[in-house]
Amino acid sequence: MEIDEDLTLRKIQIFLAFMRYGNLSKTAAEMQISNVSVHKALHSLENSLRCPLFKNEGRNLIPLKSAYVLQENSQKIVQDIVTAVNKTREAAGFAAKVLHLGSLYSLTVNTIPNVISGLKLRRGELDIQLLLSSNLDLVKKLKTTELDAIIVALNETTSDADFESLAMFQDDIYLAVNKNSPLANLEEIDLSTLKDETFLTLSKGFATRHDSDVVFEKAGIDPKVFLQVSDIFTLISMVSTGVGLALLPGRISTIYESSVKLIPLQAPYRIKQEIGLVFLKSKERDPNLLALIAECRMFARQYL
């Protein structure tokens, strides 16, 4: 049998609501339409099915046996459609039960714990999978949809027509030294005077490594790099032992604060990192992402 083109899911939903309430006004309130629209939808449904569903008793509509048969069978149809829609959206990464979030190592000191705890209050059922890596690696994974969103340094690596970003805060870059170093007595540092010092750096691809290279170039330094590491916590640990100096963001100041001092750079060499949320424009209406965006905005307000 060919199904009438006027037989729509919306009319079925209105019908099911009416069967639950048995009342035009309550049905209209749930479906957010008028009483007249409910009555028209039920009458149109009868026309599409080419059989009566109700009988009139005064101003009341009384369900016939056909209405109960339709109710029983269409409830499963509607539920199957809802399930199909949800599974389709999940397959496309929308409203999934898992949020794949990427972050820089340094942001786990304060930013990420605050954002995640706030997000869990908004969406308690959400399972958040956190991946820590470099700016460059996280951007690549976002581009290939391995990640749903990333919180990173906003720079040329995040400039992409497919991306949307939300700035959260700015952070200064400092010279990190062991507190027993003679340099620790300085209020600020002229980097150009450190040409003979030994430095430790992050590997290429990290935002702080990029900013360090920019600052070294400004200062006319070709640094003597003793060691390159792939996470910022190892780097600051090495500084705490007095092995060398490093350029690090202020957000890690609470780590090894008893043995490491962060010294501001003199004006010509100062540089700021802008930290923000980055996500694909194609996913900006995903409920999980909307909740994350809202939480990142809340976090950013403390820096206004």
Q: Tell me, what's the pLDDT at 222?
A: 92
CATH class of 171-273: alpha beta
Sequence length of the chain is 304
How do the domains of the chain map onto residue ranges?
9-91, 98-169+274-301, 171-273
* Residue 186 C-beta-side C-alpha neighbours within 13 Å: 18
Are 274 and 156 in contact by the 8 Å Cβ rule? The answer is no
Phi, psi of 172, rounded to the nearest 5 degrees: -85, 155
Indicate the helix (H) or strand (E) that contains 166: strand 163-178
Task: Tell me what pLDDT residue 18 has.
Answer: 93
Residues of the chain under the 50 pLDDT cut:
none
**Cα 135–chain centre separation:** 15
Which residues, at least 6 apart from 258, have a Cβ–Cβ distance to it below 8 Å?
Answer: 179
The per-residue pLDDT for 94 is 65
Give the pair of three-digit tokens for residue 67: 């209405």
The residue behind tokens 């805060």 is 169
Asked whether the beta carbons of 170 and 249 are under 8 A apart, the reply is: no
Classify domain 98-169+274-301 at the CATH class level: alpha beta
Q: Residue 112's CB: how many other CB atoms inside 10 A? A: 20
Angstrom distance (rounded) from CA 79 to CA 281: 30
- Give the phi and the psi of residue 275 in degrees, each rounded to 5: -100, 135
* pLDDT value, residue 79: 87
- Tell me the three state secondary structure of residue 115: helix
Residue 98: in which H helix or E strand, if any? Answer: strand 98-103
Sign for the pseudo-dihedral over CA of 103, 105, 108, 110:
negative
How many angstroms separate the CA atoms of 125 and 119, rounded? 10
Model pLDDT, residue 87 = 79
The secondary structure of 219-259 as a DSSP string is HT---EEEEEESSHHHHHHHHHTTS-BEEEEGGGTTTTTTT
pLDDT of 85 = 82
Rounded to whole angstroms, how far apart are CA atoms 167 and 276?
Answer: 4
The reply to whether 9-91 and 171-273 are identical in fold is no
- Distance in angstroms (rounded) separating the CA atoms of residues 191 and 15: 75
Q: What is the pLDDT of residue 148?
A: 94
Architecture of the 9-91 domain: Orthogonal Bundle (1.10)
Q: What is the dihedral of CA 153, 157, 158, 161, to 10 degrees?
A: 170
Rg (CA), the chain: 30
